[in-house]
Amino acid sequence: MSTTSGHRTLVLASASPRRLQLLNQVGIEPDHIVATDIDETPRRGEVPRNLAARLARAKAEAARASVAGDAAYEGAFILAADTVVAVGRRVLPKAETLADADRCLALLSGRGHRVYTGVALVTPAGKIRHRLVESRLRFKRLSEDERINYVASGEWRGKTGGYAIQGLAAAFVQRLMGSYTNVVGLPLAETVALLEGEGFPVRRNWIARGGAVA
Tell whether 136 is covered by a domain. yes
Please compute Rg for the chain using Cα positions.
18
Is 39 a catalytic site residue? no
Tell whether 157 is covered by a domain. yes
From 31, 39, 70, 82, active-site residue? 82
Tens digit of each residue's pLDDT, the chain (214 residues):
444 345 789 999 998 999 999 999 999 999 999 998 898 999 999 999 999 999 999 999 999 999 998 998 999 999 999 999 999 999 999 999 999 999 999 999 999 999 999 999 999 999 999 999 999 999 999 999 999 999 999 999 999 999 999 999 999 999 999 999 999 999 999 999 999 999 999 987 787 666 544 4
DSSP state of 160: B
Give the closest residue to 83 by CA, choosing from 158, 168, 3, 147.
158
Strand partners of residue 87: 90
pTM: 0.91
- From CA 161, how far away is CA 132, in angstroms rounded? 18
Q: Are 91 and 214 in contact (CB under 8 A)?
A: no
Q: Domain span at residue 162? A: 10-207
The CATH number of whichever domain residue 56 belongs to comes to: 3.90.950.10
How many independent structural domains does the chain possess? 1
User: CA distances (Å), 79 to each of 40, 58, 101, 142, 148, in order?
Assistant: 18, 11, 29, 36, 37
